[in-house]
Amino acid sequence: MLRANTPLRTLALAVLRSYSLIFFSQHRGFAALLLLLSFANPGAGAAGLAAAVLAVGAGWLLGFNREVLATGGHSFNALLVGLALGTFYEPGWAYGLVLLVGALLALLLTVALGGWLAPRGLPPLSLPFLLVIWLLTPAAEQFHALALNERGIYWLNEMYAVGGAPLLHVIHWLNGWHLPLMPDTYLRALSSVFFQDSPLVGLLMAAGLLWHSRIAFSLSIVAFLGAYAFGMATGAYAPGGINHYNLGANYIMAAVAVGGVFVIPSAASYLWALLSVPVTAVLVAGLTTLLARLGLPAFALPFCLTSQLFLYVLLLRQRADWLPLTPIQRYSPERNLYAYTNDRERLQSQLYVHLSLPFLGEWQVTQGYAGQPTHQGEWADALDFMIRDVDGRTYRGPGANLADYYCYNKPVLAPADGVVVEVVSHIDDNPIGQVNTRQNWGNTVVLEHGPGLFSKVSHLRPHSTPVQVGERVRRGDLLGTCGNSGRSAEPHVHFQVQATPYIGSRTLAYPLAYYLSGRGPEAQVRSFRVPAEGETVQNLPPSPLLSQAFDLPPGFRLDVRNPDDEAAPAQRWEVFTDAYNHTYLYCHHSGAVAYFERSTATFSFTAYYGPETTALYFFYRAAYRVLLSYQPQAELLDAFPLTLVRNPALRWAQDVVAPFVRFVRPCFALRCHGADDAYHPRRLQLSSRAELRYFGRVRPLQQAEIELTGGALAGFRVQLPASSSPLRFVCRPVA
């Protein structure tokens, strides 16, 4: 993730993010607002800040995970402990010692519980805070130098001493607000997260929550209204019994957690969040009564138990067709949703073994999935290929002999790396028009590509197979040549994927990774699809220039500078690998990070974190996806995540309805051109464009030109809609 420029900046951001992480956020503006609002009670605000600083500093010195520490993940429980102690106890030496012990204990419990729960797929949430408070509450009775806070009784006198009559008038004016019961209760419930009882603080918190996430805000409203409806239906609220505790933060926080943070937001997740409301209500009522007998507060325990219960049962499912769990936490329901849907659409390379077409050149699918006459029943998901000329004929001359057919004796290749598990090569070819149903599949090779994944090519020429059972082959290795053996009236290649290694196994629907569909200027690049019957297809030949230019191994470094600004220093980009083996480009100048992945056929950026005015951000948008094959006639299309939308009104409107419908689509397109040699280019240009499509309108976001020379990135040029002249960047690899 983001690496700060200095340790001090990292620690300061960790303290700040401790505030927003209470609401599952990394939004700095929201965090700063919460920090200020905590000082609505100055004593509690100071104690919370001190506890967060202590936890962050101790976590750094003890060597705990720096990435987790930077998010506030090790310190937000200490912050809650500080806010609670500052609310309930008077300042003093004893108070300071208890605050120090409480903050450190919260840190240790957060790390310990996190380490225990993480392998089980569960977050510790606020459980460390609760354990510390439950320990300190009875212990405080033994600390006679620790006095309960009585400022609530005399606080108007204290405010008069601070600001005189003008401040007192402001306080009386604020307290004079007469909001309707429901809004007043909702706002007080939000403020109670920071141990306050103020509709004004709650209003500002609600505004901050809306600023951070429209989905989280809407879930908070859904949970609050659901709790009210459940309480009225069950008679839980006696006259005058509706207050910000029994309609409080437990419902809101649980609904946000299970409906939008740890679960990908959707219509189903909103129902899941609504279902959490009655469970939380039972826990609030039951735990409050039980813990009161022990003299302990329930605080956030109902929220923690509801959230962990609802998440744990999802982890135990055998199928996850709906309510998918968040795979990578981005600390925003919108970012989680947009990244998940975008990755599911474009990063299919992570889901499949990359299978290529088992031949060279252009072939046509003469019988596709569920095609007549033989691809039926358990063997429906198979493909037959032949070569046709421009007139649609599969042979030259009269077509009476096997050698007349264009595909006869053409090489048949391994579609991916694998191990040979079955070979048949002794069956004679049939004369044209005749079939051998007794030896249906003819000469065949079966390869194993992984557990439960096999491919099979059939109807090969007799004795053309150079491989043996147990031999390891690479993609593109020769398996045999096209023949007419088995149930084959004329030469063709039969190709199928199956889950078992036997000849005659039932077929398995499985896409081909990358191929070119069509002929000439109309040809289009297809990725992870199954070719249709009648479609002309061929493999994508790799381009050494493109493959070398976008080969960015860990440790690779690149200096990038703007030649139009001689005073600006060069920006150093460097490739790193994180703890999850994900590779990313890191800009030492700005701290920006761009994650990417590279397959045999494409280079793709997957995520960007950092300022949106950097050269790395412009390059991220310019080279969002690059085909590593020179195909000047083909345009590569892709889709950006919705986080690219910067129009506030448009973005917020989409955010509100994002779990249910998408009407905004950020799109990407790229073409190759300007090659100095059509077959073996050493110089090449890539033209890309990023645009926003909504309601039938197209709004350009960026146009870019990328220059490749001698197997390296030489530079790129970016034209923004609001700029009259392009931004230019020159790149130089660093040894």
What is the model's pLDDT at position 542?
86
- Of 385 and 344, the structure prediction assigns the larger pLDDT to 385
Among candidates 215, 331, 321, 222, which has minimal Cα distance to 280? Answer: 222
Are the C-beta atoms of residues 404 and 395 closer than 8 Å to each other? yes
pLDDT band at 429 (very low <50, low <70, confident <90, very high): very high
Over residues 474-525, the pLDDT tens digits come to 999 999 999 999 999 999 999 999 999 999 899 999 999 889 898 877 788 8
What are the structural domains of the chain? 1-145 (1.10.3430.10), 177-344 (1.10.3430.10), 363-538 (2.70.70.10), 544-734 (no CATH)
pLDDT band at 174 (very low <50, low <70, confident <90, very high): low
Fill in the DSSP letter of residue 120.
G
Q: Is the pLDDT of residue 120 over 50?
A: yes
The lowest-confidence range among 203-217, 505-519, 636-650, 656-670 is 636-650
Among candidates 135, 126, 362, which has minimal Cα distance to 257? Answer: 126
What is the model's pLDDT at position 689?
95
Angle at CA of residue 559, ends 556 and 560, nearest 5°: 125
Helix 76-88, helix 7-21: angle, nearest 10: 60
What is the model's pLDDT at position 696?
87
SS3 category, 23: coil
Q: Is the pLDDT of residue 245 over 90?
A: no
What is the model's pLDDT at position 418?
96
pLDDT band at 5 (very low <50, low <70, confident <90, very high): low
Over residues 30-67, the pLDDT tens digits come to 999 999 999 988 889 999 999 999 999 999 999 999 88
Rounded CA-CA distance 700/723 in Å is: 12
Q: Is the pLDDT of residue 200 over 70?
A: yes
SS3 category, 638: strand
SS3 category, 138: helix
Peptide bond preceding 373 in cis form (omega within 30 of 0): yes
Query: Cβ neighbours of residue 442 under 8 Å, at least 6 residues apart?
Result: 424, 427, 436, 458, 459, 460, 483, 484, 485, 486, 487, 488
Helical ranges in 62-148 per DSSP H: 66-70, 76-88, 93-117, 127-140
What is the model's pLDDT at position 345?
65
Q: Of 91-105, 262-276, 283-297, 338-352, which one has max mean pLDDT?
A: 262-276
Determine how β-strand 512-517 pairs with β-strand 536-538: antiparallel
What is the model's pLDDT at position 153?
42
Average pLDDT over every residue of 559-581: 88
Q: Is the pLDDT of residue 243 over 60?
A: no
Angle at CA of residue 605, ends 602 and 606, nearest 5°: 115
Query: Cβ neighbours of residue 351 under 8 Å, at least 6 residues apart?
Result: none
HSE-up (13 A, CA, CB side) for residue 139: 14
Radius of gyration of the chain from its Cα atoms, rounded to whole angstroms: 32
Reading the block at residue 630, the tokens are 């020179």
Query: Cβ neighbours of residue 89 under 8 Å, at least 6 residues apart?
Result: 95, 98, 140, 146, 147, 148, 149
What is the model's pLDDT at position 690?
94
Among candidates 197, 310, 295, which has minimal Cα distance to 253? Answer: 310
Fill in the DSSP letter of residue 601.
S
Q: Is the pLDDT of residue 170 over 80?
A: no
Among candidates 498, 493, 272, which has minimal Cα distance to 366? Answer: 493
Over residues 448-458, the pLDDT tens digits come to 999 999 999 99
Q: Is the pLDDT of residue 467 over 90?
A: yes
Rounded CA-CA distance 712/548 in Å is: 7
Q: What does 53-68 look like in DSSP terms, one character per residue?
A: HHHHHHHHHTT--HHH
Q: Is the pLDDT of residue 430 over 90?
A: yes
Mean pLDDT value across the chain: 89
Over residues 77-90, the pLDDT tens digits come to 999 999 999 988 88
Average pLDDT over every residue of 143-164: 58
Q: Is the pLDDT of residue 3 over 50?
A: no
pLDDT band at 1 (very low <50, low <70, confident <90, very high): very low
Quickly count: other Cβ atoms within 10 Å of residue 26's Cβ.
23
Among candidates 142, 135, 127, which has minimal Cα distance to 101? Answer: 135
Length of the chain: 735
Percent pLDDT > 70 in the chain is: 93
Rounded CA-CA distance 465/128 in Å is: 65
Average pLDDT over every residue of 91-119: 92
